[in-house]
Amino acid sequence: MRILSGIQPSGALHLGNYFGMMKPSIELQEQGEAFYFIADYHSMTSLFDAEQRRRNTHEVALDFLACGLDPKRAVFFRQSDVPEVCELTWILGTLTPMGLLERCHSFKDKAARGIPVNSGLFTYPVLMAADILIYDSNVVPVGQDQKQHVEVTRDIAIKFNQAYGDTFVIPEPRIRGDVAKVPGIDGEKMSKSYGNTIEIFGSEKTLRKKVMSIKMDSRPPEEPKPDADQNLAVQLLRVINPEAGATFEEQLRTGGLGYGDLKKRLFEAYWEYFAKAREKRAELEANPDYVNQVLADGAAKARTKARDVLQRARKACGLE
C-alpha cells in the first residue's frame, strides 16, 4: 500500500494541520510505503513572497520531522523538487471538465469570503490529482474539507483510463472522522487563510495569549451550561485530550466551572502534548544540513517513481 499526502508551506502549521493531516500520516507510515511532500507549488496560489516561501518550507520540514515523521519509513520531499508533476497536471487538465472544478468547495469558499482568487486556485484540484496519481498512490489521508479533492482525483483518473486505457491507480481517501475538522479560535474551521489558528510551535507567551483570547459567552461560573459540547475550548480540549475534554464538559453542564479555568486547562493540555516535539524541533533546528539532506534524499526517491508514471501516461495518450 502506497500512502500519499502533502501539506502547504503557506504559514505556521497549526492544530488543524496536525490532527487533520500530520498525525494520521505519521501513524500510517508504519502501515505502508509513505510519500509525504511539502506542497510549495500549491502555496503559490496564496503566498507571493519568495523568501517567506523558502522560510516556511524549511519550517514545515522541521515541524513534520519533530512531530514524528521518520525518513527511514517515509519518503519526505519538496513538491517542486519533482517537476514531472507539472507536466502531468497539464495532461490531466486537458480531460478535466470545468464543471467539476467549479463545484469544488475550496475555491467557492475562498471566493465567497472575498479572498483574492486566481486560476491557480481554481485548478488546484488538478495539481492535487497529479500529486496523487504520479506516485501510484493507494491511500490519501485527508481532512474532511479535502475529501472532495480526492474524489475529483478519482474522477479525473477514471476519465483518463477510459480515454487512453488503464494507466492510473484509483486512490482512496482515508479520513480521521473524529478530528477531521478542528475549530479555530473564532469557531470556523481552523485555517491559516482565516487567521484563526493555534500554532503547533511558537513562544509560550504568545500561544497562551491566543488560547486565552477564545471568546466565550457572559454566563457566570456557577450557572449550568447545557450546551457545553458547543463550547470552543471544550471542542479543542476533546481533540487534544479526549478524557479531559469530557470531564470539563460535564463540569460546565453541572455548573461551577469558570471559562478562565477551562481555557487555562486547555493551554496546559496543549503545551504538554507537544513538549517532546518542541525538544526534537530544537535539535533539528540546530542541524539544518540534516534536514536538507532528508529532503534531497526523499526527492531522489520520489522523482524515480514520478518519471516512471509520467512516461506511462505520455505513452498512453500518444506523446511518446
Digit-coded pLDDT (tens) for 271-289: 999 999 999 999 999 999 9
Which neighbouring-strand residues pair with 33? 2
pLDDT at 229: 84
Give the residue with greater pLDDT, 140 vs 180. Answer: 140
Name which of 140, 196, 176, 151 is nearest 15 in CA terms.
196
Render pLDDT for 66-86 as a digit per residue (tens, 0 to 9): 999 999 999 999 999 999 999
Given 23, 108, 110, 147, the catalytic residue: 110
Q: Structural domains in the chain?
A: 2-181+287-316 (3.40.50.620), 202-273 (1.10.240.10)
Render pLDDT for 183-194 as a digit per residue (tens, 0 to 9): 899 888 888 878
Given 147, 192, 276, 301, the catalytic residue: 192
Across 169-185, average pLDDT: 78
Render pLDDT for 196-240 as a digit per residue (tens, 0 to 9): 999 999 999 999 999 999 988 888 888 888 888 889 999 999 999
**Cβ-Cβ contacts under 8 Å for 228 (sequence gap 6 or more):** 234, 249, 250, 252, 253
Of 12-26, 38-52, 169-183, 258-272, least confident by mean pLDDT is 169-183
pLDDT at 55 over 90: yes
pLDDT at 141 over 90: no
Per the annotation, the verdict on 305 as an active-site residue is no
Given 72, 147, 181, 189, the catalytic residue: 189
Render pLDDT for 85-138 as a digit per residue (tens, 0 to 9): 999 999 999 999 999 988 887 777 777 777 777 888 889 999 999 999 999 999
Q: Look up residue 165 and give its amino acid.
A: G
Per the annotation, the verdict on 315 as an active-site residue is no
pLDDT at 176: 61
The answer to whether 58 and 284 are in contact (CB under 8 A) is no
Kindly report the number of other CB atoms within 10 A of residue 308's CB atom. 14
Kindly report the number of other CB atoms within 10 A of residue 161's CB atom. 15
Instruction: State the angle between helix axes of 50-66 and 288-316 in degrees (0 to 180), rounded to the nearest 10.
Output: 100
pLDDT at 180 over 60: no
Q: How far apart are CA 5 and CA 150, in angstroms?
A: 11
pLDDT at 146: 75
Render pLDDT for 244-275 as a digit per residue (tens, 0 to 9): 989 989 998 988 888 999 999 999 999 999 99
DSSP string of 138-151? SEEEE-GGGHHHHH
pLDDT at 232: 92
pLDDT at 179: 52
Q: How confident is the model at residue 177 (pLDDT cuts 50, 70, 90)?
A: low
> Which grid coordinates belong to 286?
540546530
Per the annotation, the verdict on 192 as an active-site residue is yes
pTM comes to 0.89
Q: How far apart are CA 317 and CA 320, in angstroms?
A: 8
> Which grid coordinates belong to 41?
507549488
pLDDT at 155: 96
Name which of 5, 4, 8, 19 is nearest 190 in CA terms.
19
